[in-house]
Structure 1
Amino acid sequence: MSANQPINALDGAVKAKRISSIDMMRGAVMLIMLLDHVRERFYLHMQVSDPMDLNTTSWELFISRFAAHFCAPIFVFLTGVSAWLYANRNPLQPRSAREFLVKRGLFLIGLEIVVINISWMGNYHTLWLQVIWVIGLSMLTLAALINLPRPIMALLGFAIVFGHNLLTPIQFMPNEWGYSLWTILHDRGYLIADGVLKVKISYPALPWMGVILLGYAAGPIFSKSSIANKRQRQLLQLGIGCLVLFIILRGGNIYGETLPWQMGNNLGETLMSVFNLTKYPPSLSFLLITLGVMFIGLVGFERLNNQFGQVLMTFGSVPMFFYILHLYVLLLVYSISKYVFGANHGELLGVDNMAWVWLIALSLIALLYYPVKRFSAYKQASQQAWIKYL
């Protein structure tokens, strides 16, 4: 998207600012994701369930994990937006994004299998199909539906996002017909539970397909013909609407979450119960709160013009490069640390509290910033097609 040529200086300025806000949002969630992955490396002895067990989860662990909830919804939604921007680079000559989506979708699935999976544990005993896999699969779904009228696509996206919680009672046993397809679409579990290589679906795909459809349908909000004030007003309306609907549905335990919230011994415990949401697959409440905050955040980032915004934009400009880089750096740092200090929690090496997790994450942000910045500059200057995939 950053390679698009503006029609005139005014359009170029508006477009750059708009795309910058998207890159800032991506950069922000990438840094939050880094924090969560540091937790999974150095705080795994205090692993959390989904939803979290509030009897064993501390408030600082809860907040860190809840912050990580924003990463996948924002990336999937903005992937849909980016596909619309690609298809409508020239408003006078729109083009199909199908080839764009198919190539990148297959590329992401291949990366998940070949490159990313081994970065988690340093071995290949289990193939974990996680967020990169589900983004790739969602892109392929969008490619298949790309010729639908945009209003129909929006209605389909809404139907999936708002209706998939009704499918929760449907379950299949591993030996039943339909188990594999349902595991891919809705129920987290093993596709292959035995043998040399096990395969587990960590991110059921159906709700994410709905999210990417909604992102594509929302693409015109970010059109270069869109007036900034109008766009910001639309985003605020979407954000406030999502949050109000979350308050109504979640506050009354009406619909949209499989685990009802309960009153705790104090306000903090009650709030933790309210925001203890299902991620696998993402419940309607999960998507309302995360996407609602994203819409409002995009307005804030569009108005942000300082060094902090530039840092976020740098990380967000090459998200796949940063994703792969930070996973392997974490694997290397953890392996060296375990070799030097030894395991202190069974077979794991871990720190004693979340403050250390935050400190390690901040150190890695500083360490990785300049490689990311250099690669971002290289990507912008490069004419090689493959480099754009990162």
Structure 2
Amino acid sequence: MNETTIKKRIDSIDMLRGLVILIMLVDHAREKFYLHKNVADPMNIDSTDPDLFFTRLLAHFCAPIFVFLTGLSAWLYAHPANKAPRSAQSFLLKRGLFLILIEITLVNFSWFAAYTTLYLQVIWAIGVSMIALAALLYLPRLWIAVIGLAIVLGHNALGFIEFAPHETGYTLWTILHDRAFLVSEGALKIRASYPVLPWIGVIAVGYAAGPLFSQTVDELTRRKTLIMGGTACLIALVLLRAFNIYGESQPWQMYDESIRSVMSFLNFTKYPPSLMFLLFTLGIGAFVLAYLETAKSKLCAMLKTFGSVPMFFYILHLYVLLITYFILSKVIGTTTVIGPNDYPYLGFPNVWLVWLAAIVLAALLYWPCKKFSQFKHSSQSTWVKYF
């Protein structure tokens, strides 16, 4: 297998990462400029318009694919092409701690320009998952795969476990499986918004899938395996979901409107991500990854650029959205007053304006991302690699 083939394979991972990063940009633009019609997960089918529903549904792909690729990238780090294997534990531990630090500092401030509540969200979940994977690496890869699959397939069965805030186990279970406040009073409240247990399962499955991207696996075999895996996920989803058997706490139902019935079927729980949520997103993600193995276009090159600097893009786009919102709210003024304390929000009147804003921001952010990507790959500084 030649160097070009190896490079193409890594490019497909960066392209998929770049794709979900841009989808994430759309969702974060929605959270800034369409908050007057905020949605929960699962969404309220009766009150959520289809354009808003499917915009939010698309964002569901971001976290599962990113966490899966993080596990896959950890295996590739531990097994570099044409080099001796190395331990990924230090790599995972340091980057996991770095992500947690970024979450509680730069990321939290970017949402509200304040620290009244500390939200432990997706970057926190990825950081904790990386640390958990570092611990799991003491085990053989087969055991990591078994544990990862057991968590992904079985965590929905743990929904009956509950702890009151005053009970022993509340803090740990809130972090692992429930979504609630760890500290609900005082100057600084802390809320665990992303329960981490399912994400530990996803990152472990991603790591276990790493050998599929080794030099010993040819492109055709890899693509067939990805397509088979994606097909298995979607078949399992349809069978389990059609009869509301298992894997989702929100049963679906038929509506008079066909589009509402489809929305109900695809209405999955994200916090924590249900089995249906993960089968849907990772199943389709496997098909996209297989396609990107051979995809060549200017768009693919752009996706690769974004995907090569994920943390740089993440922090940059959050602050660009924050500053843009602040400027527009001062120039235009707010249009809607909602929520506790009558906090004013500037809101776009249509979902398509959210998409337009995201496309414009993506175009504006491409150049700094490209420059930083070039700097990152030429720099010898260790800290640069974290971005």
Per the normalisation by structure 2, the TM-score is 0.97
Give the equivalent residue in structure 2 for 1:7. Answer: none
2:366 pairs with 1:375:
no
Q: For 1:378 and 1:97, how far apart are their aligned partners in 2?
A: 24
2:310 pairs with 1:319:
yes
Q: For 1:155 and 1:294, how far apart are their aligned partners in 2?
A: 21
Give the equivalent residue in structure 2 for 1:248. Answer: 239
Give the equivalent residue in structure 1 for 2:138. Answer: 147
Q: For 2:83 and 2:375, how far apart are their aligned partners in 1?
A: 31
Q: For 1:35 and 1:92, how far apart are their aligned partners in 2?
A: 39
What is the CA distance between 1:135 and its match in structure 2?
A: 0.3
What is the CA distance between 1:237 and its match in structure 2?
A: 0.7
Q: What secondary structure is seen at the aligned counterpart in 2 of 1:175?
A: coil
Greater Cα offset, 169-178 or 291-300: 169-178
Q: For 2:364 and 2:298, how far apart are their aligned partners in 1?
A: 17
| AA at the equivalent of 1:386 | W
Q: For 1:379 and 1:82, how far apart are their aligned partners in 2?
A: 17
What is the CA distance between 1:11 and its match in structure 2?
A: 2.7
Match of 2:105 among 106, 111, 114: 114
Gaps of at least 5 residues in structure 2 are: 338-343
Give the equivalent residue in structure 1 for 2:68. Answer: 77
Residues 179 and 193 of structure 2 are in contact (CA less than 8 Å); yes or no, is this contact kept in structure 1? yes
Q: For 2:347 and 2:180, how far apart are their aligned partners in 1?
A: 27
Q: For 1:97 and 1:41, how far apart are their aligned partners in 2?
A: 37
Q: For 1:92 and 1:58, how far apart are their aligned partners in 2?
A: 53
Give the equivalent residue in structure 1 for 2:10. Answer: 19
What is the CA distance between 1:178 and its match in structure 2?
A: 0.7
Q: For 1:149 and 1:93, how far apart are their aligned partners in 2?
A: 18
Per the normalisation by structure 1, the TM-score is 0.96
Q: For 1:234 and 1:351, how far apart are their aligned partners in 2?
A: 43
Q: For 1:83 and 1:103, how far apart are their aligned partners in 2?
A: 12
Alignment of 1:36-47 (within 5 A): 36-47=27-38
Q: For 1:78 and 1:224, how far apart are their aligned partners in 2?
A: 18
Residues 81 and 215 of structure 2 are in contact (CA less than 8 Å); yes or no, is this contact kept in structure 1? no
After superposition, what is the alpha-carbon deviation per residue over 1:254-278, rounded to whole angstroms, capped at 9, x for unaligned? Answer: 1000010000112101000000000
2:351 pairs with 1:354:
yes
Q: What secondary structure is seen at the aligned counterpart in 2 of 1:128?
A: strand
Give the equivalent residue in structure 1 for 2:158. Answer: 167
Give the equivalent residue in structure 1 for 2:116. Answer: 125
After superposition, what is the alpha-carbon deviation per residue over 1:158-192, rounded to whole angstroms, capped at 9, x for unaligned? Answer: 11000000001111111111110010000001000
Give the equivalent residue in structure 1 for 2:211. Answer: 220
Alignment of 1:138-287 (within 5 A): 138-287=129-278
Give the equivalent residue in structure 2 for 1:298. Answer: 289
1:147–1:331: structure 2 CA closer, same or farther, 3 Å change rule?
A: same
Give the equivalent residue in structure 1 for 2:340. Answer: none
| AA at the equivalent of 1:367 | L
What is the CA distance between 1:96 and its match in structure 2?
A: 1.2
- RMSD between aligned alpha carbons? 0.9
| AA at the equivalent of 2:129 | S
What is the CA distance between 1:90 and its match in structure 2?
A: 4.9
Q: For 1:224 and 1:376, how far apart are their aligned partners in 2?
A: 25
State percent identity of aligned pairs: 55
Greater Cα offset, 219-228 or 84-93: 84-93
Give the equivalent residue in structure 2 for 1:5. Answer: none
What is the CA distance between 1:55 and its match in structure 2?
A: 1.4
2:45 pairs with 1:48:
no
Q: For 1:348 and 1:14, how far apart are their aligned partners in 2?
A: 49
Q: What secondary structure is seen at the aligned counterpart in 2 of 1:331?
A: helix
Q: How many residues align?
A: 381
Structure 1 residue runs of 4 or more that deviate by more than 6 Å after TM superposition: none
| AA at the equivalent of 1:368 | L
Q: What secondary structure is seen at the aligned counterpart in 2 of 1:337?
A: helix
What is the CA distance between 1:224 and its match in structure 2?
A: 2.2
Q: For 1:93 and 1:181, how far apart are their aligned partners in 2?
A: 38
Gaps of at least 5 residues in structure 1 are: 1-9
What is the CA distance between 1:226 and its match in structure 2?
A: 1.5
Q: For 1:74 and 1:80, how far apart are their aligned partners in 2?
A: 10
Q: For 1:106 and 1:234, how far apart are their aligned partners in 2?
A: 33
What is the CA distance between 1:244 and its match in structure 2?
A: 0.6
What is the CA distance between 1:91 and its match in structure 2?
A: 6.3
Q: For 1:388 and 1:225, how far apart are their aligned partners in 2?
A: 27
Greater Cα offset, 93-102 or 28-37: 93-102
Q: For 2:375 and 2:81, how far apart are their aligned partners in 1?
A: 25
Give the equivalent residue in structure 2 for 1:3. Answer: none
2:103 pairs with 1:103:
no
